[in-house]
């Protein structure tokens, strides 16, 4: 019997990154989603393509050997698939993990295999698999008497993923255009006697934190900084934004600040981190990705939250007290100015919060910072500036 993976999330990351790499490693992939249109397309079409865009041109991979289930209407079928799967992955967004946890919990509880299910969340968030595991192990989803030996049925491993998926052509259907570069790093320590699943694309490591923070505080910080400044200055794409010398300089200044934290916290050399930063800026500047600033900037509430790309490193640096965070504060300001952007609900919610709360209240609600945090007052001043309408 072949290897089987159940993947939650039939979007571009699910089909174009996780699904692609699992297919290449010989897995049958069962896509699970609640979006009728995605599931219907996957059920109707027996193949789709992933076009990898790199400096040397394009490479097209054909993806086959997959099925699709709508968990909204066929939950019992999803439970059966998980009960006999080797692997469960997801790319649904950190805020959706709590909604997919109940069906995954039922599937885990139904398992009879002597080999535990591998569960790996592929989200842009620190400790996403831990978060998912917490929801699965909640007594609402897994009976208390079944928690004691749940590790015999499932192993949970955190991961860090890095791959840019630009805006897609309007008539692309299931086909995905994606950057050629990728990184998928997974903590191998939870896998003991049974070993980890064989997935060619994954780099298995003993300490995931340096990879997660380096990626989040370099790729995500730089990408979002270019998007928010680009949006503010009327640029169309990330390439256009970074072609502006002032914006490019600001992005480098922000990454200089986060690099200071990464180097000193994780023991990565200055030279290695500088090379990583240069590679990342070159990647996100790729004109062939045609990455629109509004797409990259969407969901500002999440991106301004406590453990995310600006507040996370900014708070840590402010606590250390050995590096200025002026550039990060500028990025935070531009993120707060990303309001009422068509197609992005969070940008409208952000505008509402800024209108209904005073600056300290906004910082507490949106950024999760409080008076005891050394970054708090600086961010309050930024919010006051935005609320006051000052440029």
Catalytic machinery residues: 215
Q: Is the four-CA dihedral 295, 300, 304, 307 of positive or negative sign?
A: negative
* Long-range CB pairs of 57-65, under 8 A, 24+ apart, other chains included: 59/180, 61/20, 61/24, 63/15, 63/19, 63/20, 63/23, 64/23, 65/23, 65/27, 65/28, 65/29
Burial label for 57, CB within 10 Å (0-12, 13-18, 19+), is exposed
Look at residue 54 and give its three-state secondary structure: strand
Nearest C-alpha neighbor of 163 from the set 284, 261, 252: 284
Nearest C-alpha neighbor of 128 from the set 154, 165, 89: 89
For residues 11 and 68, give the distance between their C-alpha atoms in angstroms, rounded to a whole number. 12
């Amino acid at each position: 019997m072949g290897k089987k993976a159940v993947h939650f999330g039939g979007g571009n990351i699910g089909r174009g990154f996780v699904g692609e790499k699992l297919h290449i490693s010989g897995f049958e992939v069962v896509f699970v989603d609640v979006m009728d249109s995605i599931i219907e397309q996957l059920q109707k079409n027996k193949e789709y393509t992933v076009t990898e865009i790199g400096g040397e041109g394009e490479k097209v991979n054909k993806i086959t050997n997959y099925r699709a289930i709508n968990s909204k209407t066929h939950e019992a079928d999803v439970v059966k698939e998980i009960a006999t799967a080797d692997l469960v992955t997801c790319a649904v967004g950190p805020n959706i993990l709590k909604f997919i946890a109940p069906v995954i919990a039922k599937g885990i509880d139904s398992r009879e295999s002597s080999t535990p299910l591998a569960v790996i969340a592929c989200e842009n968030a620190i400790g996403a698999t831990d978060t998912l595991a917490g929801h699965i192990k909640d007594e609402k989803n897994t009976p208390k008497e079944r928690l004691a030996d749940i590790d015999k049925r499932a192993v949970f491993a955190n991961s860090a993923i890095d791959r840019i998926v630009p805006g897609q052509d309007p008539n692309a259907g299931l086909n995905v255009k994606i950057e050629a570069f990728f990184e998928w790093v997974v903590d191998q320590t939870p896998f003991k006697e049974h070993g980890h699943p064989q997935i060619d694309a994954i780099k298995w490591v003993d300490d995931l934190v340096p990879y997660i923070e380096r990626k989040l505080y370099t790729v995500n910080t730089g990408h979002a900084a270019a998007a928010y400044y680009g949006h503010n200055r009327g640029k169309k794409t990330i390439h256009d934004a970074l072609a502006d010398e002032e914006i490019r300089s600001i992005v480098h200044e922000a990454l200089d600040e986060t690099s200071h934290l990464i180097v000193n916290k994780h023991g990565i050399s200055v030279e290695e981190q500088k090379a990583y930063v240069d590679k990342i800026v070159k990647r996100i500047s790729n004109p062939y990705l045609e990455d629109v600033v509004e797409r990259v900037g969407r969901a500002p509430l999440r991106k301004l939250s406590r453990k995310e790309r600006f507040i996370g490193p900014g708070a840590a640096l402010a606590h250390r007290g050995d590096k200025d965070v002026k550039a990060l504060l500028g990025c935070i300001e531009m993120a707060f100015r990303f309001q009422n952007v068509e197609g992005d609900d969070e940008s409208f919610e952000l505008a509402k919060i800024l209108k209904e709360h005073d600056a300290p209240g906004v910082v507490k609600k949106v950024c999760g910072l409080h008076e005891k945090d050394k970054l708090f007052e600086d961010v309050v001043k930024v919010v006051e500036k935005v609320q006051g309408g000052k440029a």
